[in-house]
Structure 1
Amino acid sequence: MSSPATTPTAARTPRKAALASWIGSALEYYDFAVYGTAAALVLNHLFFPTETSPGAAILFAMGTVGVAYVVRPLGALVMGPLADRFGRKFVLMLTLFMIGGATFAVGCLPTYDQVGMLAPALLVLCRVVQGLSAAGEQASAISMSLEHADEDRRAYTTSWTLQGTQFGTLLATAVFIPFTLLPEEALFSWGWRVPFWLSAVVVVVAYLIRRHLEEPPAFQEARHEVPAGQPVSPLSVLLRHHRAAVARIAAAAMINTVNVVFTVWSLSFATSVVGLDRATMLWVSVLANAVALFVIPAVALLADRVGRKPVFLAGVLGPAVMMYPYLAAVHAGNWPLIFLFGAIMSGCLYSMANSIWPSFYAEMLPLPVRVTGLALGTQIGFAVSGGFAPVLASAVAGPAGDNWLGVAVFVTIACLISGGAALTATETAQKSLDEIDALHSSRTEAAELQALGTGQEPAAGRGAEEPAASGAGR
């Protein structure tokens, strides 16, 4: 084992790490938003047979949107351990080209008229690649920025990952709008492809930023230890010793139900049941995202001062209350109140939780299993809330789809689950990352985590002899 004197000392680069995380998240959500828009407008016409059942083509196109979310937990099982074993930067570079490459490839695919059923098969394959890489991208970016951050600004530094998601969504909307104004022949022949090809620009910029980014100092210190024996699997350590943390993160991630109901169910309720203008309702979401761009970093600074839990809980309880007046305003067709309550609920209150969860969740895990646990916990929670919330909300709304009060109660229940999970977590804002690692490392796992950090196989019975602090894997 190398001595401390010979172990290279790396410097933290919080700004570079935050920028690298921001642009990766922007690319990821640009890709997802562009694909969702294209699926609704053109992919159902171009990639699926419509002669017998146009409705079925629409259903299949929407199904390809969900494919990426279904495979994300699997991606967490693959990408998370890779990041904890081989490095955060390794996975960030890998997922960058996987997401960007798959998105660019969609713009190059032949249509159903050209190659038949091969067209939708290739489309699904591209979505699978996007989904597998997305879980590792976000968890690795958050861990990278957390471990590079100054100790008193961890929430602020990691919040830029979520700020990037808001920007990517807005960018995708702005890019696609001009192409929807093209004549239908031009849109269906080449216009829809251009937004997918433009993702290559983001990939190049992200690569230029990330190629000079170093692994976090703590991870480098662990990796420079001389390996010996069979390495310990991050996933096996996580499932043996941190199942409770993964479950807590998954339950807390149910706060995503607020976003799903706001962006999906309420849009359908407003346009299909109440009869409001679809384009105007889309601008409600645009306004909320624009407000969130400013709220997310500002609230994160507050969390670095007063703590993660109070800010996160405010971001959980606030939307639970505001969902009632927002849906009531939609039901009444009151545009000023729809915009006002939408901006307050999603842009301000939900963004409080959205800003804090990167640092809050990541600090529930020690360094050697941080990406694996963060990826698995969040993707399980997102899969449940994103996959089932729209269906459950529609069922609660009833056959006529007008029981908005029941849907608001459903959202409140999801928020209470999220808040209850957050209450069981330990406040970590005032602790250093070394203290956090020691906090989450029990005596029985100390030797195993040390071996995971150094690449050594733990000796039998050694875990009961070493202090918990050695579990930091550093």
Structure 2
Amino acid sequence: MGTLSAAQAQALRQRRSTAGAFVGTAIEWYDFYIFGTAAALVFGRIFYPGAAPGAALMASFATFWVGFLARPVGGVVFGHFGDRIGRRNILVITLMLMGTATTLIGLLPGYAQIGVAAPVLLILLRAIQGFAVGGEWGGAVLMATENAGATKKGMAGAWVQQGSPAGSILATVMFLIAGRLDDEAFLSWGWRIPFLLSAVLVIVGLGIRLKVEESVVFEAAKARHEIVKVPAFAVLRSYPGIVFLGVVASIMGISIAYFNNTFLLAWTTTELGIARQLMLNILLFSAVLQFIWQPIAARIAETAGAVRVMIAGLVLTAVMVVPFFMAIGAASPTWITVCLAFNIIGGTAYYALLATALAAAFPANIRYSGVSLAYQLCATIIGGATPLIAQSILTATGGSPWGVAGFYAAMLIATIAGVAGLARSVARRAEAPHTAGD
């Protein structure tokens, strides 16, 4: 075979980087999502059996949130080394760490076998999951976008975001299969199957990720001697406003998945009486729609503009708030499905472009730390707490959907403001004199 031209070599590098980012991210999100699904369906009864049903669910959601508390720590640690020694090797470490923690959860005895050690170990393994994913997302975004051509960054970033619905599809399918067991078998061992599958997926992911070349942008910054000693300090010193806007702009991108796949799943299958398998099928349909729609939205953004597409999508989701919660209040699977479809079309048009928008906000030599800090701080403060907050509001309002609807609408409004503010800040930075590492 002849030597590749420069253009062919660039295209091959871009395809490998995008594929490696997508596959690895899909596996990590699969691991993260199966925990959320299990938290809604199983963990309260397995690890907190002595509590009342509502209290057990709250404890399960609190354990779910622990993963988000660890995510900024992972973002700072892995962002530090990703900005200093490179993106590629860090992404191998995060994938191995996540897979190990998830597989061990699948092997973990319940409260009935080892007592209080069971929830303690579950919390510890959940924290390791959060620590790993805290470094995964930002690194995957940079590997894909920094190895892409100038006109392809939006689509490369969108394919990283495809990892979320792909992971959700796989997680939901696995629980649909396990859910076909009777309740006794499902609670005894069936719920463990999706967690144990992670070991196989990680081996596949590592085989792909180890073939990916280092980011060309990082290599260029290193060649120019622009590596920063403590990248996180540099981010907070020079770009605190951008970090704040990145946090706010990421709210719905993180929260909507855990609202639907964790809180809504628990709410509809317990208090509203919708069958577990039916609700899992509805969520599977939503994930498939997201997977199909996100690349289309990214393509539209190439001509219409990313910010316009993001805000238009969020506005559509805001318009659907009242119909969505009316459908939930009526416990209508049909109308919940229809409203979720509109929410997916709107919300994921924004989510598809979020990764590229955040990456554009920071210079290359501190980009891993900047992107990870903004996204993971949002995950901790709001995203991971969404099921817990929503359940608290639902309990306080006696089961009325409208308090939760107000919380959902507030997150949407804040996100719109954050996206608009981040876009203005990036535009001003683009007009300013050249910043090292851009």
Count of residue pairs brought into register by the alignment: 427
Once residues 150 and 423 of structure 1 are traced to their aligned partners in structure 2, the CA distance between those partners, rounded to angstroms, is: 25
Deviation at 1:319, TM superposition (A): 0.6
Q: Retained in 1: the 8 A contact 2:268–2:274?
A: yes
Q: Partner residue of 1:248?
A: 245
User: Greater Rg, structure 1 or structure 2?
Assistant: 1
> What's the secondary structure of 1:152's corresponding residue?
coil
Which residue of 2 is the match for residue 316 of structure 1? 314
Deviation at 1:168, TM superposition (A): 0.9
Percent identity of paired positions between Structure 1 and Structure 2: 31
Cα deviation for residue 199 of structure 1 reads 0.8
CA 186–212 in structure 1, closer or farther in 2 if over 3 Å, else same = same
Q: Secondary structure at the match of 2:161?
A: helix
Distance in 2 between the 1:269 and 1:356 partners?
30
Deviation at 1:33, TM superposition (A): 2.3
Q: Relative to 1, partners in 2 of residues 1:391 and 1:51: Cα closer, same or farther, differing over 3 Å?
A: closer
- Preserved contact between residue 364 and residue 440 of structure 1 (Cα < 8 Å): no
Identify the residue that residue 136 of structure 2 maps to in structure 1: 137
- Greater RCO (Cα-Cα under 8 Å, separation 6 or more): 2
1:473 is aligned to: 437
In the alignment, which residue of structure 2 is the partner of 1:447?
none
Q: Tell me the amino acid that sits aligned with residue 381 of structure 1.
A: C
**Change over 3 Å in CA distance of 1:181–1:77 after alignment to 2:** same
1:422 deviation in Å?
1.8
Q: If the length of structure 1 is used for normalisation, what is the TM-score? A: 0.81
> What is the identity, as a one-letter code, of the residue corresponding to 1:370?
R
Which of 324, 331, 349 aligns to 1:352? It is 349
1:68–1:131 Cα contact (<8 Å) kept: yes
Q: Which runs of 5 or more structure 1 residues have no equivalent in the other structure?
A: 1-9, 429-435, 443-467
For residues 408 and 37 of structure 2, the distance between their equivalents in structure 1, rounded to whole angstroms, comes to: 25
Partner of 1:15: 15
| Structure-to-structure mapping, 1:73-472, within 5 angstroms | 73-182=72-181, 186-187=185-186, 190-225=189-224, 232-256=229-253, 257-267=255-265, 270-271=268-269, 274-346=272-344, 348-393=345-390, 399-404=397-402, 406-426=403-423, 439=429, 468-469=433-434, 471-472=435-436
Structure 2 counterpart of 1:462: none
Q: 1:403 to 1:291 in 2, by over 3 A?
A: closer
SS at match of 1:107: helix
SS at 1:401 equivalent: coil
Q: Deviations over 1:375-396 (max 9, x none)?
A: 1111122223324444554565
Cα separation, 2, equivalents of 1:110 and 1:426: 48
- Give the C-alpha shift of residue 418 in structure 1: 1.4
* Cα-to-partner distance string for 1:9-47 (whole Å, 9 max, x where unaligned): x84622111111111221112112222333444444544
Q: Which 10-residue stretch deviates more, 70-79 or 406-415? A: 406-415
The alpha-carbon distance between structure 1 residues 328 and 438, as it changes in their structure 2 partners (threshold 3 A), is closer
In 2, the alpha carbon distance for the partners of 1:336 and 1:43 equals: 28
- Change in Cα spacing, 1:126 to 1:334, as seen in structure 2 (3 Å) is closer
**1:55 Cα offset (Å):** 6.5
Counterpart AA for 1:360 = A
Deviation at residue 113 of structure 1 after TM alignment: 4.6
Distance apart, 1:412 and its partner CA: 2.8
Equivalent residue of 1:213, what SS? coil
- The residue type equivalent to 1:120 in the other structure is P
Matched-pair contact (CA < 8 Å) for 2:58–2:388: no
Check whether the contact 2:154–2:298 (CA below 8 A) recurs between aligned residues: yes
- Give, in whole Å, the separation in 2 of the partners of 1:64 and 1:80: 25
RMSD: 3.0
- 1:117 Cα offset (Å): 3.4
Q: Is the 8 A contact 1:95 1:134 kept in 2?
A: yes
